[in-house]
Structure 1
């Protein structure tokens, strides 16, 4: 099975990252990490309410701690405190090798958020002159963006959909397989997240940072606030086998040729959203007036850009449309945003798709997921 993502590769197939090289060069780093893991209680954060988008980040879009939040599917809106927006109990709690509920990942996320908060405070402060990111700041930002792409309910639901699809395609003749939903445990999502973050952070490190500032508070945010901007070409790279029908695949499978059999078995699975590896620019709204943009590595450019009037409105409309399109559960804005409550939301689409000749299992992926909510420690979260 092939894929545009690397979610389903084994450890042996994943090349070492900069973090692996760093740990190899300085063994004390791994020793310190193991000691922290050994000395830190797994029970501390178990049962707590976890923000899938950091509260410190949401506060910049709030008024007196309140956001106007709209449902991504229905468009219905309500006032919601930042303490309860994007919050799911035990979302990052996993079952460790001792069979215990373990909340230490939430503490790690807190450290990542602290580094990003310090950076955003510095960038948005009127008392600090704009300057390029220092290497440590770029590292903090890279980790924050990488985790934010991976830590969301949408990403867990994608893992669930792919797990369901793979289980069914491997056992297509099992009686009643098309009538059930195969749900991987949440551990799989969290394991994949921690493996992918160092690789994603590499893609964001050392990119030039630009702050775009509007003369009006027009930017919104959502539960998927990291915008990946491509060069306009499709991020989906189909193979020749993607265009084979089921009939052609069955015919190739019956023939003795090794190449024909291989082509009959290839299934291309890909996410509908652009991946970090295809992003020319990466954007994150930091406040209703400010957007952080990371440009291509090695490209020189301004540190700040100010937009006014109609130009600011046009730019904000483009960014906001991207955020609405990629949002999964909710979209949020400052309560006084001039147009947010009347913005139209397009129907949600599929998260992942597969080229397998058009089986029922791949056809099930060609629509918005239902249910939309992922599983939490073996039960649906409410």
Structure 2
């Protein structure tokens, strides 16, 4: 009996939703992509913008390769309908169910991207190296299958080689996918529980990035860079002329709508640019980042300090 051919799975995955990128596109469904590092910008179709091959592919025998991407698609489809209420029906504030779907999409967009994949990989490698460094020489001889008689200096050399191997090792993408699954609901709750302010701009243009959910950094804050649970404010550019600003978590305020000015647009664009992972995106007819120095590429997403009790 002939074996059935398995259905080919979708390999091209948007890490930023295509329906969202459309809000920054021209009538040809194109955006301008400007990479970090000052490289030349270029026009790109939204069907190609932020696409990564097999980014959400499941590699398990008992699970469809498209299972994770399909679940993301459901969240995106529901959010797209709620976006239509904001932009086509001019509804604001949103009803609870529509607010819920957008909160879920924002949470997903915050944790699904290439920056979070890199964070997950860096965390995995640091924990793996810490597992090496925290062991005693005798424990390391056993862990690394080393001869019992080798000196501590030789053990140090093997440890250095092992740490180097860990830095070069490819980290299983399921590590990040598991983190998405485990953190989506609590992140969504942190989004939903903030007061929402919709800001519409008549003239000023906004751009977005491959990390469109922005936690503006504040050098005076003791919680700088911590996350969705304690950021003072969060914002998302929703279109080239509209942004959503999320206020303090748990603040007793109502959702509202205001008109934005040039100064607020510039502030939003500045933080969008510096929050980006690899590139920013904007409408081809206007560059909202033109007045800013383009930051260098981000080579690291996390900073680690070695505990004093670590021997190596």
Contact in 2 for aligned 1:45/1:106 (Cα 8 Å): no
Q: Aligned residue for 1:87?
A: 51
- 1:115 aligns with 78
Tell me, yes or no, if structure 1 residue 166 matches structure 2 residue 127.
yes
Aligned to 1:356: 306
1:61 aligns with 2:61: no
> CA contact under 8 A between 1:68 and 1:78: conserved in structure 2?
yes
Higher alpha-carbon deviation: 106-115 or 135-144? 135-144
What SS is found at the alignment partner of 2:98? helix
Residues 121-142 of structure 1: per-residue CA shift (max 9 Å, x gap): 11122x4343x33221222122
Question: 1:223 deviation in Å?
Answer: 0.3
Alignment length, in residue pairs?
Answer: 276
Partner SS, residue 91 of structure 1: coil
Q: CA deviation at 1:318?
A: 1.0
**Which residue number corresponds to residue 303 of structure 1?**
256
Distance 2:49 2:190 in 1: 29
Are 1:277 and 2:219 an aligned pair?
no
- TM superposition shift of 1:91: 0.8
- Which residue of 232, 251, 270 corresponds with 1:321? 270
Superposed CA deviations along residues 274-321 of structure 1, whole A, max 9, x for unmatched, are 4001123221111111001222334325621113xxxx2211111111
CA distance in 2, matches of 1:199, 1:70: 32
**Deviation string, structure 1 residues 127-186 (Cα, Å, up to 9, x no partner):** 4343x3322122212211111111111111111111111212222442512433233200
Change (3 A) 1:135 1:170: same
Are 2:206 and 1:288 aligned? Answer: no
| Match of residue 223 from structure 2 | 235
* Aligned counterparts, 1:133-152, within 5 A: 133-152=94-113
Question: Structure 2 residue aligned with 1:71, among 6, 29, 35?
Answer: 35
- Cα 1:162–1:305 shift into 2, 3 Å: same
| Cα RMSD for the two superposed structures | 2.5
Where does the alignment leave 5 or more consecutive residues of structure 2 unmatched?
A: 1-5, 134-155
Q: TM-score, normalised by structure 2?
A: 0.80
CA contact (8 A) 1:230 1:274 kept: no
